[in-house]
C-alpha cells in the first residue's frame, strides 16, 4: 500500500542546513495501524508532512497505492491529497463554523453537490459519536469532541490513508483512550490505513500493529510492537518501553531489595499474549521445593496481546532452583536469570 524509499528532507537557511529526515525507507501494509515514535526533534512530524506533500522531499519516493506522491504536481497532487486525510494535535478547526460546517468544508472545496454533502456529513457525525452536536461551534466542545470533528473532517473524502500527527497529545489520558478506541473502530470498519505519529509509547502499545522508532531523522528500530516491547535494541527504544513498563521509584526500590539478598536467584519473567494468564508461579511452588518471593510485576495491553514482566526471587537448593528455571522455560515464558533490575 505505502512504500517509502530513501526519503530525505534537508532544510537550508543562512545559518546552515538541517537534515530533518535522513534516508528513511519503510513499507506499510494496507489496512494496518502503523506507529512512528520519537522524541522532540526526531524528525517524525516532518516525516508525516512529507507523506502528503505539505513538505516537499529533498529526495526519495513516497509511493501510495502505486503512485509516487513526491513526483505529482498541481491538479494531480490535489486529487491525490483527497485520498490522504490528516488530523492534528491542535485540531485546526475553523472556529467560525459549526461542527457540520467544519466537516463539510473539504467536500465544498471538492465541489460535491449539496445533497451529497449533507448525507455524508451526517454519516460522519454518527460515526464519530457527535450526534446532537451538529450545530455546536468549536468553542462549545471539549478537547475530545474537537478531535472527533477533526477525524470526521479528515474522513470526508473517503481517504485511503489517515495521517495522525500527535493527535492525542493535547488530551487527558481518559480522552486519549476514547480517541484511540475510535481510531481502532474506524480502522476495522473502513479498512483504512492509519499512520500515527507520537512521542507516547502508550499510544503505540494500545493500537499500533507495527512501530518505527525515529531519532536524529533516521529510523533506528522497526518491527512488530510486541517484539519491540520484548526486545528493544536501541537506547531510545528502551526509554520508550520504560514509559509503559517502568516506574523509576519502583525500580529503585526493587534494586535496593535485591541487594539485600545474599542467597537464591532473581529471575525476570516475560509473559506474552495468553501466557500472561498461566499460573506458572503457583505450579513452580507446587512441584519444586523452592520458595518464591514476588518482587515486582507489570503488565500492559498491546494490539497483538498482553505483555507482562514479573521479577521473582527463588530460594532453595541450587539443583532445585535450576529445575524450577528449566520448568518455567519449557512453558514458553522467557526467563532472565539475575537480570539488571535498574
Q: Mean pLDDT over residues 63-84, rounded?
A: 89
Q: What is the DSSP string of 227-272?
A: HHHHS--SHHHHHHHHHHH--HHHHHHHHHHHHH--SSEEEEEEEE
CB atoms within 10 A of CB 279: 9
Q: Mean pLDDT over residues 84-95, rounded?
A: 92
SS3 of residue 53 by DSSP: coil
Q: What is the pLDDT of residue 248?
A: 55
Q: What is the pLDDT of residue 329?
A: 86
Query: 329, 256 in Cβ contact below 8 A?
Result: no
Query: 223, 211 in Cβ contact below 8 A?
Result: yes
Phi, psi of 309 (to 5 degrees): -125, 150
Q: What is the pLDDT of residue 319?
A: 92
Question: Cα–Cα distance between 11 and 18 in angstroms, integer?
Answer: 5
Q: What is the pLDDT of residue 231?
A: 85
Q: Mean pLDDT over residues 192-219, rounded?
A: 94
Residue with cell 454533502: 117
Task: Return the DSSP state at 217.
Answer: T
Please report the domains of the chain, with CATH numbers, ordered by start residue. Answer: 2-244 (3.40.50.300), 249-337 (3.30.70.260)
pLDDT band at 246 (very low <50, low <70, confident <90, very high): low
Q: What is the pLDDT of residue 342?
A: 47
- What is the layout of strands, in order, in the sheet containing 16-28? 16-28, 2-13, 59-64, 67-68
List of long-range contacts for 253-261, beta carbons under 8 Å, 24+ apart:
254/295, 254/296, 254/311, 254/341, 255/341, 255/342, 257/295, 258/295, 258/313, 258/341, 261/313
Query: 124, 156 in Cβ contact below 8 A?
Result: yes
- What is the layout of strands, in order, in the sheet containing 33-37? 84-88, 161-165, 193-198, 33-37, 210-215, 218-224
| Beta-strand relationship, 193-198 and 161-165 | parallel
Residue 279 or residue 51, greater confidence = 51
Question: Cα–Cα distance between 122 and 258 in angstroms, integer?
Answer: 59
Please state the pTM of the whole predicted model: 0.84
Amino acid at each position: 500500500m505505502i512504500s517509502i524509499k530513501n526519503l530525505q528532507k534537508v532544510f537550508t537557511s543562512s545559518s546552515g542546513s538541517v537534515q530533518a529526515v535522513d534516508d528513511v525507507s519503510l513499507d506499510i501494509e494496507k489496512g494496518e495501524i502503523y506507529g512512528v515514535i520519537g522524541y522532540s526533534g526526531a524528525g517524525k512530524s516532518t516525516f508525516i508532512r512529507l507523506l502528503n506533500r505539505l513538505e516537499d522531499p529533498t529526495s526519495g519516493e513516497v509511493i501510495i497505492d502505486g503512485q509516487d506522491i513526491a513526483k505529482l504536481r498541481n491538479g494531480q497532487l490535489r486529487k491525490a491529497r483527497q485520498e490522504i486525510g490528516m488530523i492534528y494535535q491542535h485540531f485546526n478547526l475553523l472556529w467560525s463554523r459549526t461542527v457540520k460546517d467544519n466537516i463539510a468544508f473539504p467536500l465544498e472545496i471538492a465541489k460535491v453537490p449539496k445533497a451529497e454533502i449533507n448525507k455524508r456529513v451526517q454519516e460522519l457525525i454518527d460515526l464519530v459519536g457527535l450526534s446532537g452536536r451538529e450545530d455546536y461551534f468549536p468553542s462549545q466542545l471539549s478537547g475530545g469532541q474537537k478531535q472527533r470533528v477533526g477525524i470526521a473532517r479528515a474522513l470526508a473524502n473517503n481517504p485511503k490513508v489517515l495521517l495522525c500527527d500527535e493527535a492525542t497529545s493535547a488530551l487527558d489520558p481518559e480522552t486519549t483512550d476514547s480517541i484511540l478506541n475510535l481510531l481502532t473502530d474506524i480502522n476495522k470498519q473502513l479498512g483504512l490505513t492509519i499512520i500515527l505519529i507520537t512521542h507516547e509509547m502508550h499510544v503505540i502499545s494500545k493500537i499500533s500493529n507495527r512501530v518505527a522508532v525515529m531519532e536524529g531523522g533516521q529510523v533506528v528500530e522497526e518491527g512488530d510492537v510486541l517484539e519491540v516491547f520484548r526486545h528493544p535494541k536501541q537506547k531510545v527504544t528502551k526509554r520508550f518501553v520504560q514509559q509503559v513498563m517502568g516506574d523509576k521509584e519502583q525500580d529503585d526500590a526493587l534494586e535496593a531489595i535485591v541487594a539485600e539478598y545474599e542467597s537464591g536467584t532473581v529471575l525476570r519473567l516475560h509473559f506474552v499474549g495468553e501466557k500472561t494468564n498461566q499460573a506458572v508461579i503457583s505450579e513452580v511452588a507446587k512441584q519444586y521445593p523452592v520458595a518464591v518471593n514476588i518482587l515486582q510485576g507489570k503488565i500492559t495491553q498491546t494490539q497483538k496481546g498482553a505483555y507482562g514482566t514479573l521479577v521473582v526471587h527463588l530460594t532453595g537448593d541450587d539443583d532445585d532452583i535450576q529445575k524450577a528455571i528449566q520448568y518455567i522455560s519449557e512453558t514458553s515464558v522467557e526467563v532472565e536469570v539475575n537480570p539488571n533490575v535498574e
